[in-house]
Structure 1
Amino acid sequence: MKLFKWNISDIKPKFPNVIEKFLGKKITNEAANNEYVSVVPSVNIADVDKAFEVSLALPGLDKKDVKIEIQNDSLIVSSEKQYEKEDKNKNWMRREYAYASFQRKFQLPESADQDKIQAEMKNGVLLIKLAKKSDYIENKKQIVIE
């Protein structure tokens, strides 16, 4: 004897899940048909001796899929990629499409030399090195707490 009659589909939310939107992918195992997927790649930023190093995890992307630009003292890294998969058999055909994109924007510090930037892609990791200006003097002032 069941006290409650329910089905797992009854408790599944009918609206987009906040976590799914944040992660940029579906949590369920259902196939996503023609959906826009926005994934924000993980980033590490390091202030090393003579440069700033920005590394982005971009698994599955090739360097031709990634765009890097400087705009209004900001470093912008973006990508757009379309995927298409087709399966054929004697009596049926299945075709799936997907579109994925991201954009990360970083405000550059005044000490970054925008003319000396290097980028390399290796094993799904994009490494961007921004040289520091050699003649930059940091304006630093300590504030006394009252």
Structure 2
Amino acid sequence: MKIAKWTTQLKPKITGFFGKMFGNNDESLPVNVADRKSAFNVQVALPGLDKKDVRIEVKNNHLVISSQKDYSKEEKNESWIRREYGYSSFSRSFRLPESADQDKIDAHMKNGILSISVGKKKGSESNIRRIAIA
């Protein structure tokens, strides 16, 4: 019996503003996060997975992306039988900022890329003021 955990060689780090804002807790999945005017956009690379294998939830003000998948393969010949089993799983969560509207979350998946849009609450535009350096 073979037990394998899905991993990736790419381990990007989300640091600075997005790392603090989204409170990422697992760097095992390649993730891109963008702060747009009306929404936060999250893209996750999930090669080899289908959208039916992925679960997206909002729990305790966290966006949770997870998957559990097991598989088996069997080959038979006149004198032998070979069976292989495998299991893979992951879970990644992001703390949603106060400006995120949990009722405006959309997701779609195409070619192994999961795209999630988290809408912003009205009136939550950031007040950014540029300071001149003297």
TM-score range, shorter-chain basis?
A: 0.7 to 0.9
Q: Distance in 2 between matches of 1:136 and 1:46?
A: 16
Q: How many residues align?
A: 110
Q: Does 1:48 align with 2:29?
A: no
The match for 1:94 is 82
Of stretches 47-56 and 129-138 in structure 1, the one that deviates more from structure 2 is: 129-138
The match for 2:11 is none
Q: Which of these residues, 89, 105, 115, is aligned with residue 93 of structure 2? A: 105
Task: Compute the displacement of 1:36 (Å).
Answer: 4.1
Task: Name the % identity.
Answer: 54
The match for 1:37 is 5
Task: Indicate if the aligned counterparts of 2:37 and 2:125 stay in contact, CA closer than 8 A.
Answer: no
Structure 1: 5+ residue runs without aligned partners? Answer: 1-32, 142-146
Aligned residue type for 1:50: S
State the structure with bigger RCO (CA 8 A, min sep 6), 1 or 2.
Answer: 2
Q: Distance in 1 between matches of 2:67 and 2:126?
A: 34
Which of these two proteins has the greater Rg computed from alpha carbons? 1
Aligned residue type for 2:78: K
Per-residue CA distance 1:37-83 (angstroms, 9 max, x = gap): 14332111111121100011011111111000001110000000001
